[in-house]
Amino acid sequence: MSLRSGKRRRLDSEFDNSRGHKYKYEPLPTTKHLRFLTLHPGRFGDKIIISLDTAEFNPQDPAVFEALSYTWGSEADPEVVHVVCPKDGHLRSIRVRKNLEVALRHLRRSDRHRILWIDAICINQEDNVEKGPQVAMMGDIYRSADRVVVWLGPEADGSSAALDALGFLGFLGSQITVDWSTYEVKAADVADSKKPVPLVARELTAIYNFVSRPWFERLWIRQEIFLANAKAIICAGHHQVSWRSFRRGLLSVANKSHRHFPEHVGLENRLVHLYDFIRQPLGFSLNELRMHLQNAACLDPRDRIYAALAMLDRTEKAHLDSPNYSISPMQLYESAVRAHMKAYSGKDVLNILGDCDLQVPVASPTWVPNWAVPSHSGIRPHCTFASSTLAAWYKLLSPGRLQVASVRGGVIRTSSEIGRFTTHISDRHVAKAIRVAVFRLPDLGPHLHDNKMIESLVRTLACDSFSDIADPLDTSYPSISDSTVRMEQILSDSYSWGPHGFCARGSVGQLLFKHLRDFSSQKHIFTTMDRRIGLGPSGIRPGDEIHTILGCGFVIILRPTEERAYHVVGPGFMVGLSQGESFLGPLPEIVHFASIFRAETSRYYKCFVTKDSGEIGFEDPRFVSLGLDLTNYREKLEDDFRTCLEINPEVLQKNKININYIELI
pLDDT bracket for residue 256 (50, 70, 90): confident
**pLDDT (0 to 100) of residue 381:** 55
Q: Give residue 444's identity as a one-letter amino acid code.
A: L
Q: Residue 550 and residue 619: Cα distance in Å, rounded?
A: 17
Question: pLDDT tens for residues 542-598?
Answer: 999 999 999 999 999 999 999 899 999 999 999 999 999 999 999 999 998 888 877
What are the Cα distances from residue 125, in Å, to 87, 121, 477? 22, 8, 48
72 CB contacts (<8 Å, ≥6 apart)?
97, 99, 100, 120, 299
Work out the burial of residue 55: count CB atoms within 10 Å of its CB; fewer than 13 is exposed, 13-18 middle, 19 or more buried: middle
**Does pLDDT of 387 surpass 70?**
yes
Of the candidate ranges 33-37, 189-193, 640-644, 659-663, the one whose mean pLDDT is the lowest: 189-193
**Does pLDDT of 602 surpass 70?**
no
What are the Cα distances from residue 133, in Å, to 6, 63, 92, 154, 380? 40, 19, 26, 32, 35
CB 525 within 8 A of CB 461: yes
Q: Residue 352 and residue 363: Cα distance in Å, rounded?
A: 16
- Among left, alpha and beta (phi > 0; psi -120 to 50; other), residue 158 is left
| Residue-averaged pLDDT of the chain | 88
pTM of the model: 0.85
Most confident range, picked from 44-58, 272-286, 375-389: 44-58
| Percent of the chain's residues with pLDDT above 90 | 63
Question: pLDDT tens for residues 59-109?
Answer: 999 999 999 999 999 999 999 999 999 888 899 999 999 999 999 999 999
CB 357 within 8 A of CB 369: yes
pLDDT bracket for residue 496 (50, 70, 90): low
**pLDDT (0 to 100) of residue 323:** 94
Question: pLDDT tens for residues 320-357?
Answer: 999 999 999 999 999 999 999 999 988 999 999 999 99
Q: Residue 401 and residue 231: Cα distance in Å, rounded?
A: 48
- Among left, alpha and beta (phi > 0; psi -120 to 50; other), residue 499 is alpha
**Does pLDDT of 361 surpass 80?**
yes
pLDDT bracket for residue 181 (50, 70, 90): low
pLDDT bracket for residue 472 (50, 70, 90): low
